[in-house]
Structure 1
Amino acid sequence: MYNGVRLLLHIHIVASKISRREFSNDMSKFKELLQSAKEVVVLSGAGISAESGIPTYRDQGDLWRTLPSSILNNPGTFREDPGLVWEFYHHRREMALKAQPNAGHIAIAKYAQRHAADKKVTVVTQNIDGLHSRAGAKNVIELHGTLFKTRCTKCNEVLVNTDSPICPALQGKGSETSTQLYSDIPEKDLPHCKKCGALLRPYIVWYGELVESETIKRLEPVISKCNMLLVVGTSSIVYPAAAFPTVMSAGGSTVAEFNIEPAPASTMFDFYFVGPSATTLPVALSD
């Protein structure tokens, strides 16, 4: 069996040894280095989707209704009240379906398309909203899963599902302003597997769960071969993604951050460009 822990341990050890440095905002120099890069990785977080109208947990005080995300993104809560968790994810699915990729998502996708013959561009995203793919990006690794797949709790079959709502019982449910802290939806009316009949769950990495082994397998060559990393809209504090920039920097990759404010790891990077990524990325990725 593949041991994803090996990669996570390596990330932690290397990240702890990186020293601080002075970063630059020289766009011309950045574009010169980007032009010569052959393996480009974009690590994206909630900030890039916030510009499409999807609020970050920080914006919402980490709460849905009065419940913190640590309770809702939790396999234990799903076992106790699967309807409540499905209402939460129905709310998030509907929000994502109404959102549109912004200029930042589109700039990344178009850059990859223009350079398909001379570069490999990989998007590694912590987001679950599917906006990178909808913008046209083809090589996307979704670290934490996606709102638009389900996994069977019994046979583990994973399927794409973009239905709105995902089942009739969720129609009109999921209001974040409701004061109801439990679900009145019977389990039999929630999404079920067409193959074996068992309850379906969102295809999301929840608290206490490890990133999928197949995802880790895809990440290893991306990390080892990368020579230009763009960190976009993420505070770089959630592992394993938190350590990718410092690990890649230690391996000789150029690291450029695009964010509205510096993150704890910003001083370890080569470039830092302040501002909304929908504004900065189209400039940075223009030829």
Structure 2
Amino acid sequence: MYQQIVVLTGAGISAESGLRTFRDQDGLWEEHHIEDVATPEGYERDVELVERFYNSRWQQLHSGTVEPNAAHLALARLEAEFTGQLLIITQNVDDLHERAGSRRLLHMHGELSKGRCPRSRQTFILRDPFGPKNCCTCCIPAQRLRPHIVWFGEMPLGMDRIHDALDHCDLFIAIGTSGTVYPAAGFVDAANHHGAQTVEVNMIPPDRHCQFQYHLTGKAGELVPQLVNTILAGRVISSEPNL
């Protein structure tokens, strides 16, 4: 039934795997002010503070206690079995989609498992925590790697590819994302504008300003496998319990 699908995933899908979401209700990111750990200016002011912040998250991700959940695995199954076009866009910086088996994937906010040369912008797999000895191999002298993370004030990655996919998709699904931070908050409008069916999966019920045609309230780990079963069976998604 569907030919081109775009899926957007946010913090909610990773939270079900035990990863803390960045922003708490008090506006702090793990007890840090956002401007101190998530802006280029904060990095310039205190490189070591920013490195400690991301090293802590990197260590949690590689602690052996965090694994992909049923939603990640279902999306990987969709990629493997769906015969049309699929792009998974994630706002998350973890690698749980990759661990589940997804490859048609775009990290619009960067990747926690990579560092980036501040001069050449080349990325490197992060095998050790950030620090003065973790440097690039592309420059002379070698440059200290910065987190490959899109901070506030920086442009998200892959926007041309994202807009092209949204212009041509016939199904857009957003999973576990608040839908309040741009540019991702505008993706549903773009999909609606081009005639796609739009579906939201979230723990929070929609408000009256919701732009999605269908909203499924509940855990991603329970609802996403059902969605994938519906798509692969060639059926149209609805808001009914059986989708």
TM-score w.r.t. structure 1 length?
0.74
In the alignment, structure 2 segments of 5+ residues that lack a partner are 234-243
- Tell me, yes or no, if the aligned pair for 2:167 and 2:190 is still in contact at 8 Å: no
Q: Does 1:237 pair with 2:200?
A: no
- Tell me, yes or no, if the aligned pair for 1:151 and 1:157 is still in contact at 8 Å: yes
Q: Which position in structure 2 is the counterpart of 1:103?
A: 70
- Tell me, yes or no, if the aligned pair for 2:35 and 2:42 is still in contact at 8 Å: no
The Cα shift of 1:58 comes to 4.1
Higher helix share: 1
Q: What pairs up with 1:86-101 in 2 under 5 angstroms?
A: 86-98=51-63, 99-101=66-68
Query: 1-side partners of 2:208 and 2:133: how far apart?
Result: 42
Q: CA RMSD in A?
A: 1.8
CA gap of 1:51–1:66, structure 2 versus 1, over 3 A, is closer
- 1:147-195 per-residue CA deviation (whole Å, 9 max, x = no partner) reads 112111223222222x2x425x6xxxxxxxxxxxxxxxxxxx3522223
In the alignment, structure 1 segments of 5+ residues that lack a partner are 1-35, 170-188
Q: Does 1:114 pair with 2:77?
A: no
Query: 1-side partners of 2:7 and 2:26: how far apart?
Result: 27
Which one of the candidate residues 18, 34, 48 is aligned to 2:13? Answer: 48
Q: Which runs of 4+ in 1 moved over 4 A?
A: 263-266
Query: 2-side partners of 1:211 and 1:225: how far apart?
Result: 20
Q: Which position in structure 1 is the counterpart of 2:145?
A: 200
TM-score w.r.t. structure 2 length?
0.86
Q: Which position in structure 2 is the counterpart of 1:131?
A: 96
- 1:225-269 per-residue CA deviation (whole Å, 9 max, x = no partner) reads 111011100011111110001210121000011100134586321
- Tell me, yes or no, if the aligned pair for 1:128 and 1:146 is still in contact at 8 Å: yes
For the pair shown, the structure with the greater C-alpha radius of gyration is 1
Query: 1-side partners of 2:125 and 2:104: how far apart?
Result: 17
The Cα shift of 1:202 comes to 0.7
The Cα shift of 1:69 comes to 2.3
Q: Does 1:82 pair with 2:47?
A: yes
The Cα shift of 1:100 comes to 0.6
CA gap of 1:76–1:190, structure 2 versus 1, over 3 A, is farther
Compare relative contact order (CA 8 Å, sep 6+) and give the higher one, 1 or 2.
1
Match of 1:94, SS state, is helix
Which one of the candidate residues 191, 197, 202 is aligned to 1:248? Answer: 191
